Structure 1
């Protein structure tokens, strides 16, 4: 290889590395804009993640996809997304679920099956996009955006469809969380029962906290416990979906095999570490755990920005309306059903 060719190769590598770093930096920049937007009254109820996706989608429509930064953006939407799911495992205290929440797990399992089943049924009636419908069913039944992000690689969903699903689930969960808070004084439930109702029926951990906090500390504690049970059931749900996808594609040479989502192993390990190691074997301060939680949120937000940049509003209009109608009906029915199984 000549010296000139070697120089060109080095410049190419440096240029590629710069674009990769720039793409990752770009997703975190929009994540920061989402964080700032979420500080504005009104948007603070929507949350950092949804605000960042909104900004990413708007950017795409006005300026197009930043092709020069594609490698870094793809890294955020793929690799950082899996890292966020792994770190999310620290939020799940398995010990608490086993000791105090076993009675709630049966109701949590019912909620997940109900949400997914009704969404799929309504999706067929409305002839909605199958992948978006399934993702919204999982997000509604389990834990919102985190569940959608975990399931999307298993069913091989397009980045665009994943971003649409996350946007819809964030909006729907926010609307229902605010609605729960408004009707809480009127609902004939004890604070504990209201907490259970919120925990087994609302979409995200943040939505559960928003709805349960006005009812007091006891309501908030039992609400988060009920929600953690649904997060715990994400793991067996993913393995069930892997089995279904592999059975569905078996013998079909046109379908690629379903890769095992190794990040789920990381999720489980982090859950075990957070439940039995942190604080018991290795002392870790609350500030450190809070810092990890904040970092997880930022990483997940940057990953969702990468997904949001793939959204075309033309496709959004054609793909999102029917799933939006289906999730609205499903969320209402789930709230009613959850109320009667408390």
Structure 2
């Protein structure tokens, strides 16, 4: 009998948890732009609360996401190489130009939506230091309503380009069959929309000025985005010829992938059961929102981190343990902590109630 030994080297992953934070936060940013724009151009009654939440999310997540990206680059100063070289065959090269455009347009869009909530210095002479800073950020008392829809269209186009780029830069890697599928960009986009709607529902609950009508509207958004994500997931499982068979092979041999599959199925089933209820109590709605966020973040973890345990060459799977330091758990907690700090800061700056809202 001939015995053949197969050696699988333990190779460190290249994309760290910072990448998960980047893809997640960027998804929150561009998906909240979609929600705000669709609502602006809808024929129904305008929900200022929803637009306020969308603006806060796109602004804060749009700031945190590039920071996480620079951290994942290991050497952030090397980012200038994207601009010093012409690489039209690289999606990351295109992203180096698309990302600053989106950061700028989304910041302007968010500022225009939040501007009415910034206090007017002339109308409120006795201001504390927070109100004084907020009034300076208003940049005068001029009408900005006419610019909002124009900026909304430009920002939405930029958001679509970011959604395409963040999906394609992963899908383009042919060496990893799990990533190389055209189903990946729509899966990323629909899960980002699901997470953004869940986050908006949580913010509506936590930030001052809760409105039940906004929560009901966000429930419809969560149901629609969950349906789109589920359809894309089913389409990938049934019709993909490369990534899905590779995933099925891993399920037969890897306990970690079996555990991941069980988690996905249980999470999808629980979320589907809760969303099937016609009327959700506030406590169940909070669970639905948090589960939606958890599903979208976990999906990115499986795609970006666990997929790297499937070796490009050789047999078996690589072992990965989440570090405690900045390249692991501390980095994840720090990213979310920075976002929470920015949300708190923005909520303080926009605590002023405009007269137009009082008269409604």
- TM-score, normalization: structure 2? 0.29
**RCO (CA 8 Å, sep 6+): is it higher in 1 or 2?**
1
The higher radius of gyration belongs to: 2
